[in-house]
Amino acid sequence: MIGYLMAKANSLPAVLQALASVPLFADLKPEVLASIAAITLNRQYQAGEIVFHDGETCQGLYIVQSGWLKGMIVSSKGKEQIIRLLGPGDTFNEHGVLLKEGCNLVTVQAIEASSLWVVDRQALLKLMDQHPVICRTIAQNMASRVVHLLKLVEDLSLRTVEARLARLLLDQPPGSPKRRRRATQAEMAAQLGTVADVINRTLHRLEDEGLIQIKKQKVEILDRERLLLKAELRE
């Protein structure tokens, strides 16, 4: 099938083990988790491959087993606004499952080779009718996504590129288990609503001020307190 490579038939114990490690399903009873595992498939994507496009019919709820992806809105001229980066343990497309129209609202693309679990939409909706706890779990997860989007709107509307970049650099400390490979300046620009040239200039300005050091295209934070001020996280 176009757009993804199907993995071999899933081993139910392997699927159960994988789903049990996902924060979204951590509090579900074993029998409920087993019902979800029975309607779950594994799909593999190569770097640069599109998982789905905005406006397409929703196939289900997606869970990242490994790899990194980006959820984005793409303009008619090809400009990207990254809404969210997705790594191991993250779930996405809950809204597509719940929308009456059953369509995707964003485009998702693999940044690197990724393995995803996909819970079939129609089967999941039936399970939600049978097990209200699944509805509550998914609703709570969607609520956290709304908070994320509100913060994104706040950043894009009320903060300078410098403040947004400082926040991005501070976002995940070194050694975080979910930390992915270095983001390119183009990816950083797409997250922050600007262009790569502006990111480049801003990075070098922060370096000139002694807040960061750029080594082989990697950014090391030298003065965290002053960077917090730049990010408007300290007064």
What pLDDT, on the 0 to 100 scale, is given for residue 234?
A: 65
What pLDDT, on the 0 to 100 scale, is given for residue 193?
A: 87
pLDDT tens for residues 33-68? 999 999 999 999 999 999 999 999 999 999 999 999
Q: Which CATH architecture has domain 159-230?
A: Orthogonal Bundle (1.10)
Residues 227, 221 contacting (CB under 8 angstroms): yes
**pTM reported for the whole predicted model:** 0.79
What pLDDT, on the 0 to 100 scale, is given for residue 205?
A: 93
- Tell me the CA distances in angstroms from 8 to 51, 61, 166, 197, 234, one per residue in order: 18, 19, 43, 44, 51
Closest CA to 218 of 192, 184, 188: 184
pLDDT tens for residues 182-234? 678 888 888 898 888 999 999 999 999 999 988 877 888 999 999 999 888 76
What pLDDT, on the 0 to 100 scale, is given for residue 8?
A: 40
**What are the residue ranges of helices labelled H in the chain?**
12-20, 30-37, 94-98, 121-130, 132-158, 161-170, 185-192, 196-208, 224-230
pLDDT tens for residues 150-168? 888 888 888 999 999 999 8
Q: Is 159 helix (H, G, I), strand (E, B) or coil?
A: coil
pLDDT tens for residues 78-137? 888 999 999 999 999 999 999 999 999 999 999 999 999 999 999 999 999 999 999 999
Q: Which CATH architecture has domain 5-157?
A: Sandwich (2.60)
What pLDDT, on the 0 to 100 scale, is given for residue 206?
A: 93
What pLDDT, on the 0 to 100 scale, is given for residue 1?
A: 33
Closest CA to 29 of 40, 42, 43, 19: 19
Give the residue extent of every domain in the chain.
5-157, 159-230
What pLDDT, on the 0 to 100 scale, is given for residue 172?
A: 59
Between β-strands 5-6 and 80-86, what pairing exists: parallel, antiparallel or unpaired? unpaired
Main-chain dihedrals φ then ψ at residue 103, nearest 5 degrees: -125, 160
Q: How confident is the model at residue 2 (pLDDT cuts 50, 70, 90)?
A: very low
